[in-house]
Amino acid sequence: MRPLADLIRPDTIEDVVGQKHILGEGKLLRRLAENGHIPNMIFYGPPGTGKTTVANIIANKTDKRLYKLNATNASISDIKDIIKELGSMFSAGGVLLYLDEIQNFNKKQQQSLLKFIENGEITLISSTTENPYFTIFGAILSRSSIFEFKKLEEEDILMGLKRGINILEEYTKKEITYDENALLYMARVANGDLRRGLNNLELAAYSGTDKVIRIDMDLAKECTQTSGFKYDKFGDNHYDTLSAFQKSIRGSDPDAAIHYLARLIKSGDLLSICRRLLVIASEDIGLAYPNGITIVNNCVEAAMKLGFPEARIPLAQAVILLASAPKSNSAMNAINKALRDIDTMDIGDVPLHLKDAHYKGASKLGRGVEYKYPHDYPCNYVKQEYLPEKLKNSIYYEPSNNKMENRFKEHLGNIKGKK
């Protein structure tokens, strides 16, 4: 018997589960599929979201000769075999090439298609689970329309599972009943991947020899084991998660921050978590809580020594501390402004009175002669110019409004107000 995920594959756009943002009534991809005018397209999104199904439906609406390749095991010779068919009686209407997992083709393999895409002899529909802007050759991108397929919602997967039950009953000649909550649980732990949900459903349907199969919560949990959480620490998802992680801490949301920490922990990428926490401690908390980086560094060192699974505990401590702490990016802004001036301005020389004077003859060159030692003055402060002449009116550090920096601001104001 064919796998359920293959048996259930729809033949029309109307029967495709989910993706209403591109396949709903009046949406662009649906209009293209219906009128048969097929441009070069890239389908981008997670597994089990309908990319291959939609490509097949579109291909069947054309008079082009259809070829299918999977870039994980195809080669240049496979492309050459297709090119040989161009212009023959077998491809009089042109060729439509469906190339799955195109990110696995290297630049040279992708370039081999360019000439034929440009002159229209080959229409390319490719799919990828990775961000095409990172993995696909720019010339292919510029000649293709990109459609993003999103993770399916629970209700979409639930609909697919119910359709799957009808098909299984027909093929197995068994009666399949179910608890609604059990089926909803299977939809939830599929984590947006209909194929995974159907595989679990198929497992449940063949789990017994009785003529009637009852899918209750116990059977649903037994067949699913764990959720379909996917994480590629070398892919686009990794950087999206790190971004959400830092933005949640910056936004003072400890619950969201802990959630994204859990995702990162599941990836097993301890180094990326630790590096990002140390950056956040200075970039987003900074001078509002100067001790934050010290505590975070200690938590990071403990995590590195412990390794997973115990490392999760000091990491969680660091995350909750940073998310709950007052925020300031004044230190980052200050150094960024200073670096920008160095890149874009004539910054001039170090003032003579600040130059190194710890060598014989320095005074004859005017080095350090007029320097005033602040500790010789009240409050350890004396007014003198420290910036180069060309930058003497520049202000880089602008205190944020928080308890610690307000104290700094008050202190600087007090000593600089004294003569």
Q: Which residue, 18, 396, 358, is CA-closest to 190?
A: 18
CATH code reported for the domain at 236-324: 1.20.272.10
Please determine, for residue 245, whether its predicted confidence score (pLDDT) is greater than 90.
Answer: yes
Architecture of domain 346-416 in this structure = Orthogonal Bundle (1.10)
pLDDT digits (tens, 9 = 90+) for 118-130: 888 888 999 998 8
pLDDT digits (tens, 9 = 90+) for 344-384: 999 999 999 999 998 888 888 889 889 999 999 999 999 99
- Determine the average pLDDT of the residues in 70-91: 79
pLDDT digits (tens, 9 = 90+) for 386-417: 999 999 999 999 999 999 999 999 999 999 88
The residue with greater pLDDT, 353 or 35, is 353
- Strand ranges, E, within 101-210: 122-128, 145-148, 175-178
- Determine the average pLDDT of the residues in 322-334: 96
Place of tokens 């590629």: 232
Highest-scoring range by mean pLDDT, 55-59, 89-93, 233-237: 55-59
- Determine the average pLDDT of the residues in 288-310: 96
- Assign 327 a pLDDT band (cuts: 50, 70, 90): very high
Model pLDDT, residue 419: 42
53-62, 248-257, 263-272: segment of lowest average pLDDT: 53-62
Please determine, for residue 92, whether its predicted confidence score (pLDDT) is greater than 80.
Answer: no
81-85, 92-96, 287-291: segment of lowest average pLDDT: 92-96
**309 upstream amide cis, omega within 30 of 0:** yes
Model pLDDT, residue 116: 85
Indicate yes or no: pTM above 0.85: no
Q: How far apart are CA 338 and CA 330, in angstroms?
A: 12
Q: Which residue, 113, 16, 125, is CA-closest to 67?
A: 125
Please determine, for residue 228, whether its predicted confidence score (pLDDT) is greater than 60.
Answer: no
The fold of 154-224 is: Helicase, Ruva Protein; domain 3 (1.10.8)
Q: Which CATH class is domain 19-148?
A: alpha beta
Structural Rg of the chain based on CA atoms: 31
Residue 2 in 3-state DSSP? coil
Please determine, for residue 90, whether its predicted confidence score (pLDDT) is greater than 70.
Answer: no
Please determine, for residue 93, whether its predicted confidence score (pLDDT) is greater than 70.
Answer: no
- Determine the average pLDDT of the residues in 260-277: 92
Q: Which residue, 31, 29, 36, is CA-closest to 61?
A: 36
Whether 101 and 75 have beta carbons less than 8 Å apart is answered as no
- Determine the average pLDDT of the residues in 19-29: 92
Domains of the chain by residue range: 19-148, 154-224, 236-324, 346-416
Q: How far apart are CA 372 and CA 377, in angstroms?
A: 9
